């Protein structure tokens, strides 16, 4: 394969200066300044763009001489969340890092460039590589453009399977749920709802098992995917109770998306017992019962709830 196989033809090529190779011990792109993450959230699109790892020339931090000044990997990141590095990387890797890079974004797809010798950054992307020396780019990302972008896209690479640890999965959810076709605010709301469910369930049980006598739920990753699938596919973006449009970004708490158990007497948050509703619909149904809630909907729509049809 070549790097172009990981991106769309019109995608952008980002370059990130790194101290080591991508792998299970460090399955993320890390940075010291939150502003780097802010830029990536705004500009990087998974499925369209790619990020290249460029080894630094620092002999103390880039221990493998084969990596220094070289293009060593291509990755696709999930930019919707800025994560805590210490919760993603292995404990050994974090202990050896001197905590230099507290912020990260998870890697969804990765490939190792052919080498050693790996492609020399000075030869392949000379202009972009020199721009790392600019004060505003230190610790950040730069773009390879024009002929340099084309040269990067033509580089040969070998796919790398990233084995995400459970805590990483708990952050980023299942890879399939991070399609570029899903709006960022829907992802954020699904993450929020999944987190609330996990916290409710944890209160009465073991944190790693995520279960208590009253309520049960799958792990965060599966729960996140379930909520996205319900919202986007099964419910087609509509509230499961009133059939109104679900709004992902709103200051009105009444129409905020809410994960609702279909049968409140059933403590399971699973595919057969969960749907996504407006918060007001959820609260009203649970407070007054489904029959009274549906009568209220009829009245709201201008009909007489006391008559059939």
Nearest 10 degrees: Cα torsion 110, 111, 115, 120: -70
Which has more confidence, 99 or 117? 117
What pLDDT is recorded for position 1? 94
Rounded to whole angstroms, how far apart are CA atoms 80 and 57? 30
What pLDDT is recorded for position 181? 66
What pLDDT is recorded for position 119? 98
199's enclosing H/E stretch is: helix 184-202
What pLDDT is recorded for position 125? 97
**Does 130 score more than 90 pLDDT?**
yes
Tokens describing residue 128: 């972009």
What pLDDT is recorded for position 83? 82
**Does 168 score more than 70 pLDDT?**
no
3-state DSSP of 95-112: HCCCCCCCEEEEEEEEEE
What pLDDT is recorded for position 275? 96
Model pTM?
Answer: 0.59
Which has more confidence, 286 or 152? 152
Judging by DSSP bridges, how do beta strands 103-113 and 71-77 pair with one another? antiparallel
**Does 301 score more than 80 pLDDT?**
no
Q: Can you tell me the mean pLDDT for 14-39?
A: 92
Q: How many CB atoms lie within 10 A of CB 205?
A: 16
What pLDDT is recorded for position 51? 97
- Could you report the per-residue pLDDT of 220-254, keeping only the tens digit for each? 767 888 899 899 889 989 999 998 999 988 889 99
10 contacts: CB under 8 Å, gap ≥ 6: 48
Rounded to whole angstroms, how far apart are CA atoms 289 and 286? 6
In the numeric block, the tokens 């709103």 are attached to 250
**Does 111 score more than 90 pLDDT?**
yes
The most distant pair of C-alpha atoms in the chain lies apart, rounded to whole Å, by: 81
What pLDDT is recorded for position 260? 93
Judging by DSSP bridges, how do beta strands 103-113 and 141-144 pair with one another? unpaired
Q: Can you tell me the mean pLDDT for 48-53?
A: 96
Average pLDDT, the chain: 85
Total length of the chain: 309
Q: Can you tell me the mean pLDDT for 167-176?
A: 54
**Does 213 score more than 60 pLDDT?**
no
What pLDDT is recorded for position 308? 55
Q: How confident is residue 259, by pLDDT bands cut at 50, 70 and 90?
A: very high
- Could you report the per-residue pLDDT of 193-208, keeping only the tens digit for each? 988 888 787 765 443 3
Rounded to whole angstroms, how far apart are CA atoms 21 and 57? 14
Q: How confident is residue 79, by pLDDT bands cut at 50, 70 and 90?
A: confident
Rounded to whole angstroms, how far apart are CA atoms 87 and 85? 5
Rounded to whole angstroms, how far apart are CA atoms 241 and 239? 5
11 contacts: CB under 8 Å, gap ≥ 6: 45, 48, 49, 50
**Does 80 score more than 90 pLDDT?**
no
**Does 100 score more than 80 pLDDT?**
no
Rounded to whole angstroms, how far apart are CA atoms 109 and 7? 11
């Amino acid at each position: 394969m070549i790097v172009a196989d990981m991106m769309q033809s019109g995608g952008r090529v980002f370059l990130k200066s790194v101290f080591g190779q991508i792998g299970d011990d460090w399955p993320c792109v890390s940075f010291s300044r939150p502003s780097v993450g802010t830029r990536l959230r705004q500009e990087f699109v998974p499925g369209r763009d790619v990020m290249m790892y460029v080894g630094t020339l620092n002999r103390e931090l880039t221990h493998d001489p084969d990596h220094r000044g070289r293009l060593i990997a291509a990755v696709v990141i999930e930019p919707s969340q800025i994560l805590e590095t210490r919760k993603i990387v292995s404990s050994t890797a974090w202990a050896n890092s001197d905590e230099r890079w507290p912020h990260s974004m998870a890697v969804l797809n990765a490939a190792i460039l052919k080498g050693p010798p790996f492609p020399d950054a000075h030869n392949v992307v000379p202009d972009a590589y020199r721009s790392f020396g600019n004060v505003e780019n230190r610790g950040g990302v730069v773009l390879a453009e024009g002929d340099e972008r084309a040269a990067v896209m033509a580089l040969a690479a070998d796919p790398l399977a990233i084995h995400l640890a459970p805590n990483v999965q708990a952050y980023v959810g299942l890879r399939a749920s991070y399609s570029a076709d899903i709006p960022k605010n829907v992802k954020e709301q699904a993450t929020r709802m999944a987190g609330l469910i996990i916290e409710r369930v944890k209160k009465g049980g073991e944190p790693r098992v995520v279960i208590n006598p009253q309520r049960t739920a799958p792990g965060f990753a599966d729960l996140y995917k379930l909520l996205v699938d319900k919202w986007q596919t099964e419910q087609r973006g509509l509230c499961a109770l009133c059939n109104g449009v679900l709004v992902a970004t709103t200051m009105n708490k009444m129409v905020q998306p809410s994960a609702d158990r279909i049968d409140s007497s059933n403590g399971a948050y699973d595919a057969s017992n969960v749907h996504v509703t407006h918060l007001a619909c959820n609260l009203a149904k649970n407070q007054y019962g489904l029959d009274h809630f549906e009568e209220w909907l009829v009245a709201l729509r201008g009909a007489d709830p006391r008559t059939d049809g």
